[in-house]
Amino acid sequence: MITILTWLWKQPNGRTAYTADHVNIWASMVSRNLAMPHELACVTNMPRGIDPKVRIITPPGEFEDVTTPRWANGRPSCFRRLAMFRRDAAAMFGKRFVCMDLDVVIGGPLDPLFDRSDDLVIFKGTAPNRPYNGSMILMTAGCRPQVYEKFTQDGAIEAGQLYTGSDQAWLAHILGYGEATWSEADGVHWHGSRPMRTETEPRVLFFPGTLKPWSLVHINKFVRANYRVTNEREAA
């Protein structure tokens, strides 16, 4: 059994406001595209409106107020997710789990992505000097505990000067290059990437910027066909 989880929180002055509706659409997309035994979970203190099939995990409450100067102005501060690297993470998230961002469109089978033996797999970064992107992570609970145990505010600021992002900058700072990744070769893309200019049917498409999939439902046929709760595949 693998846990597929996401995080939902309200960030003051954040550039994007996520809701239970986004969780429910994400959960539906995962369920339609994953055959292996799994459970769905959401780490949140905002459970109202979330589909009962999604297990609610109480947030650990760590690192929620940590910010860095380079990653401000409403950009998402995701250091709270570093709790996934605790040695006792299995008690909260499961022995084997995947963390996915909510700003995603899933358009193909997920099993080839998650049926891997690596103890850690991370979405490849969006530029050569960004080794990882935190939008999707596959983990065996307890691996790479240094990510959690070495974390400090000063360390976060230092990482933010070297790399882009919040938790993904810290991952790059602590882990360096060389961890297993997913990339466009696996059908995992981010909106605006060069391969996306010619490939119209990715397996997974993330939206790490200000543009989000729910803004494109009425104008992009790939998003319209897949970003939904209903089980019936709509005509493109």
Please name the residue that has the structure tokens 């998650």: 114
Domains and CATH numbers, the chain: 2-226 (3.90.550.10)
Contact indicator for 40, 53 with CB cutoff of 8 Å: yes
To which H or E segment does residue 158 belong? helix 153-162
The pTM score is 0.92
- The yes-or-no verdict on residue 233 having pLDDT over 70 is no
- The yes-or-no verdict on residue 87 having pLDDT over 70 is yes
**Residue 235 per-residue DSSP state:** P
Q: What is the pLDDT of residues 24-40, one digit of tens each?
A: 999 999 999 999 999 99
Q: Which residue has the higher pLDDT, 104 or 17?
A: 104
To which H or E segment does residue 60 belong? none
Contact indicator for 77, 7 with CB cutoff of 8 Å: no
Q: What is the pLDDT of residues 61-73, one digit of tens each?
A: 999 988 888 777 7
Confidence class of residue 16 from pLDDT cuts 50, 70 and 90?
A: confident
Q: Which residue has the higher pLDDT, 16 or 116?
A: 116
